[in-house]
Amino acid sequence: MQASNPDASSPPPLGGWRRGAVLAGLFLLAGAAGWVFERLGAPLPWMIGPLLATAAVFMTIAPQVSMPVRLRPVGQIVVATQVGLAFSPEALELLIRFAPVIFGAAIITALSVLVTALAVARVTRQSRAEAFLSLVPTSPVEAAAMAVKLGFAPSPVIFSQTLRMAAVVLILPFGLYALDGWPEVSRPVVGFGVPDPLHILTLGVMGVAGALVFRVLRVPNPNFLGPLAMAALFAVSGNGPTIYPPDIFAMAQVLLGTWLGAAFRRDFIASAWRLTLISLASSGALLLLCALSGVAIAVIAGVDWQTMVLGTAPGGVVQMALAAKFLGQSAVLISTFHLVRIFIIMPNIPWIVRLLARTDQRRAL
């Protein structure tokens, strides 16, 4: 499906001090939204609050600015380092014990993506390859790069991928809350104090070093997997430092939530309303199918159903690790579900997409 270029008639983006002022205002608004959502007891408050606030701004006021490209890696590195530090020897034993369930969940999620993509292509007459690229749990940038190689417009794929991640972040925690009850929140979780600069520097160096090593090794998603592996290596040996202060961790989530929210541009959604509806419906269908599969695995394997729903969810590692941490689940265990899925699915995406593209060509003849 080709999409029109909404930027062709848009005014030029802001630059200089105006851009800095608008970005500062956006981050202040995003931080305030996270603060409000935290006091309301909302799930993932420091990510969902900024996501909704930023999306509302871009879909109404529509400021002509783009988010700095380096913000997302910063948030990923902080969150990944924090999650990796929970990888204790006890956690390692837990992961080994759940290995069959983890690998099974990865295969089930991959099949759910394929089934949903084929159904979407059949109903909407969208190409199977593009439908698969729009739904498969991977980075929007990596999915867009594959779309370009196949001759598809990258914008619809990026938008659909971002909408998928946002839908999982918004729907899944609230859905679990609706089934399990809204928790009581009597006081703020995050307190802003004066952090130890040496401690923050140590954690930052650890995270950046892991990201650089994985980037050199060409490992997928290096900005998350690298810091996670580096922190886990120190933690499992018993030499890991303490976690980030709550305020730093909250700021990292604000960066990620703001980055997601900024993708919801009014001009694009207005010019691609059909794509928006398709993306919403397909993301919802995929999330439902994965959740039902997770519950089925939980019943068969005798595992906690919330763990399996989070483990099979078609979200990113960062978002699911945060959701698990907030919902009282093992962030390390949930991260492992998604890491295993990444290493199973991502290397196979190119040949699956090429195969689907060939079936598209035969269907068009």
3-state SS, the chain, equals: CCCCCCCCCCCCCCCHHHHHHHHHHHHHHHHHHHHHHHHCCCCCHHHHHHHHHHHHHHHHCCCCCCCCCCHHHHHHHHHHHHHHCCCCHHHHHHHHHCHHHHHHHHHHHHHHHHHHHHHHHHHHCCCHHHHHHHHCCCCHHHHHHHHHHCCCCHHHHHHHHHHHHHHHHHHHHHHHHHHHCCCCCCCCCCCCCCCCHHHHHHHHHHHHHHHHHHHHCCCCCHHHHHHHHHHHHHHHCCCCCCCCCHHHHHHHHHHHHHHHHCCCCHHHHHHCHHHHHHHHHHHHHHHHHHHHHHHHHHHHHCCCHHHHHHHHCCCCHHHHHHHHHHCCCCHHHHHHHHHHHHHHHHHHHHHHHHHHHHHHHHHHC
| Position with higher pLDDT, 205 vs 240 | 205
Is the residue at 252 inside a domain?
Answer: no
Q: What percent of the chain has pLDDT over 70?
A: 87
pLDDT of 12: 57
Among 126-140, 191-205, 228-242, which is the least confidently predicted range? 191-205
**Has residue 37 been placed in a domain?**
no
Mean pLDDT, the chain, whole residue set: 81
Output the pLDDT for position 169: 79
pTM of the predicted model as reported, rounded to 2 decimal places: 0.69
192 inside domain: no
Is 80 exceeded by the pLDDT of residue 13?
A: no
Q: How confident is the model over 34-54, as pLDDT tens digits?
A: 999 888 877 678 888 898 899
Q: Which residues of 219-256 are buried (b: 16+ CB within 10 A; e: fewer)?
A: bbbbbbbbbbbbbbebbbeeebeebbbbebbbbbbbbb
| Tokens describing residue 98 | 């759940």
82 in a structural domain: yes
Domain count, the chain: 1
Please enumerate in sequence order all residues whose Cβ is within 8 A of that of 306, keeping only pairs 6 or more positions apart, or say none: 176, 180, 327, 329
φ, ψ of residue 70 in degrees (nearest 5) = -90, -5
Going by C-alpha positions, the residue among 23, 38, 63, 16 that lies closest to residue 265 is 63
Q: What are phi and psi of 264, to 5 degrees?
A: -90, 80
Residue 186 has pLDDT above 60, yes or no: no
> What was the pLDDT predicted at 213?
95
pLDDT at 185: 44
In angstroms, rounded to a whole number, what is the distance separating the alpha carbons of residues 66 and 22?
A: 10
Region 342-360 average pLDDT? 84
In this predicted structure, which of 6-15, 190-199, 234-243, 272-281 has the lowest mean pLDDT? Answer: 6-15
The boundaries of the domain holding residue 92 are: 65-181+220-238+264-364
Give residue 187's pLDDT.
41
User: Could you tell me if residue 3 is inside a domain?
Assistant: no
Q: State the pLDDT confidence band at 188, using cuts at 50, 70 and 90.
A: very low
288, part of any domain: yes
Residues 54-112 have pLDDT tens digits of: 989 988 887 888 788 777 888 889 988 887 887 778 777 877 888 999 999 999 999 99
User: Using CA atoms in the order 345, 347, 353, 354, what is the torsion angle rounded to 10 degrees?
Assistant: -150
C-alpha radius of gyration, the chain, whole number: 20
Q: What is the pLDDT of residue 31?
A: 94
Residues 6 and 235: their CA atoms lie apart, in Å, by: 47
The stretch 310-337 carries a mean pLDDT of: 81
Rounded distance, CA 193 to CA 285, Å? 43
Q: What's the rounded mean pLDDT across residues 27-40?
A: 91
**What is the CA 305 to chain-centroid distance, rounded?**
21
What are 220-258's pLDDT values in tens digits? 678 878 898 898 888 888 777 888 888 888 898 898 888
Please check whether residue 154 lies inside any domain of the structure: yes
Integer Cα distance of 55 and 68 in angstroms: 16
- The answer to whether 181 touches 43, Cβ cutoff 8 Å, is no
297: left (phi over 0), alpha (psi -120 to 50) or beta: alpha
274 located within any domain: yes
pLDDT interval class at 180 (50, 70, 90): low
